[in-house]
C-alpha cells in the first residue's frame, strides 16, 4: 500500500505535500505536532512518514528517536529547513532513511518516496492480477485482457486495495480509510461511486457487492 503520514506544521507546505502525493496516487494523513506524529506512526497504518524536524511540542528528532526505540521500522524521510550538518547526521543516526532540505522540488521528494517504498523488506509484487485485469504497480496502469485502460490515481488505488485482498470482503469504512485517508466523511457514498467507475472500466463482474458488508474482488 501507499499510505504516507505527513508531519508538518506549516499549513502551506503540508497542503503542497498532500496535494502532490494524492495526485500521485498516495493516501495521505497530515499531522502538525510531534506528539501526533509519534502517535499516528504507531502500528502498521502507514508505509512511510515525511517528518519535518521543526515541529511544535516535540521536535522531529525526538519523534524519530521515540519511534526507533519502540522498534518501529516505518521508513522516514526527514524534512529540514536547517541545512546544518549536525541535524542531518543526528537524524540519520537516529534511523531516518533519507532527508531533504527545504526548499525542495516536489519531483525530488516523489522520487525519494518511491525509492524508500521500493526498498522495504520483502520484495514487493510489481503486478497484481484478477481474472483478465492486470495492475502494473510500478507504472500505475491497468489493463483488461491486454488492453490498457485509463484509471485515475484514486481509481487505481481502489483497484489495488481490492486486488491485494482477493476474495476478501472489504467494508466501505475500510475502503474509505485505506483509499481516501482517515479524515474522510464516513457518511459519504464516494466508495460506491468509485466502485461504479471501476466496474465500467474493468468489467461489471470483477467486483462483487456483499450486501450489508462491502465489496470484494471476484475470487
Ligand atoms: Ca516546521
Q: What's the gap in Å between 57 CA and the centre of ligand 1?
A: 11
Q: What's the gap in Å between 54 CA and the centre of ligand 1?
A: 4
Q: What's the gap in Å between 16 CA and the centre of ligand 1?
A: 14
Neighbouring C-beta atoms of residue 82, cutoff 10 Å? 12
Q: Which residues contact 182 (CB under 8 A, 6 or more apart)?
A: 29
Q: What's the gap in Å between 10 CA and the centre of ligand 1?
A: 6
Q: What's the gap in Å between 116 CA and the centre of ligand 1?
A: 22
Closest to 169 measured CA to CA, from 150, 149, 147, 191: 191
Q: What was the pLDDT predicted at 10?
A: 93
**Distance from C-alpha of 8 to C-alpha of 114, rounded to nearest angstrom:** 20
Q: What's the gap in Å between 184 CA and the centre of ligand 1?
A: 25
Q: What's the gap in Å between 30 CA and the centre of ligand 1?
A: 13
Q: What's the gap in Å between 183 CA and the centre of ligand 1?
A: 22
Q: What's the gap in Å between 86 CA and the centre of ligand 1?
A: 17
Q: What was the pLDDT predicted at 119?
A: 67
**Distance from C-alpha of 161 to C-alpha of 85, rounded to nearest angstrom:** 40
What is the mean pLDDT of each successive set of 10 residues along the chain, which is 219 residues long?
90 92 88 94 87 91 92 89 69 84 85 82 70 87 94 92 87 84 72 96 93 89
Report DSSP state, residue 38.
Answer: H
Beta strand 133-136 with 141-144 is antiparallel
Neighbouring C-beta atoms of residue 210, cutoff 10 Å? 11
Q: What's the gap in Å between 102 CA and the centre of ligand 1?
A: 10
**Distance from C-alpha of 135 to C-alpha of 143, rounded to nearest angstrom:** 7
Q: Which residues contact 185 (CB under 8 A, 6 or more apart)?
A: none
pLDDT in tens, 21-60: 988 888 899 999 999 999 999 877 899 999 999 899 899 9
Q: What was the pLDDT predicted at 102?
A: 82
Rounded to two decimals, what is the model's pTM? 0.57
Q: What was the pLDDT predicted at 127?
A: 86
Q: What was the pLDDT predicted at 195?
A: 97
Amino acid at each position: 500500500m501507499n499510505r504516507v503520514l505527513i508531519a508538518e506544521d506549516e499549513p502551506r507546505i503540508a497542503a503542497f505535500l498532500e496535494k502532490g502525493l494524492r495526485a500521485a496516487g498516495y493516501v495521505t494523513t497530515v499531522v502538525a505536532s510531534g506528539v501526533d506524529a509519534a502517535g499516528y506512526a504507531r502500528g502498521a497504518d502507514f508505509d512511510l512518514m515525511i517528518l519535518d524536524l521543526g515541529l511544535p511540542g516535540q521536535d522531529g528528532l525526538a519523534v524519530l528517536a521515540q519511534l526507533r526505540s519502540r522498534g518501529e521500522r516505518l521508513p522516514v524521510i526527514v524534512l529540514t529547513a536547517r541545512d546544518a550538518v549536525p541535524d542531518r547526521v543526528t537524524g540519520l543516526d537516529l534511523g531516518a532513511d533519507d532527508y531533504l532540505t527545504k526548499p525542495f522540488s516536489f519531483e525530488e521528494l516523489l522520487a525519494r518516496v518511491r525509492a524508500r517504498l521500493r526498498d522495504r523488506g520483502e520484495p514487493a509484487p510489481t503486478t497484481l492480477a484478477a481474472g483478465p485485469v492486470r495492475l502494473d504497480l510500478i507504472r500505475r496502469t491497468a489493463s483488461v485482457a491486454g488492453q490498457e485502460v485509463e484509471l485515475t490515481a484514486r481509481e487505481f488505488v481502489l483497484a489495488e486495495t481490492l486486488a491485494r485482498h482477493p476474495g476478501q470482503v472489504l467494508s466501505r469504512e475500510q475502503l474509505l480509510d485505506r483509499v481516501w485517508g482517515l479524515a474522510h466523511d464516513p457518511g459519504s457514498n464516494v466508495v460506491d461511486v468509485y466502485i461504479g467507475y471501476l466496474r465500467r472500466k474493468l468489467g461489471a463482474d470483477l467486483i462483487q457487492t456483499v450486501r450489508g458488508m462491502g465489496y470484494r474482488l471476484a475470487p
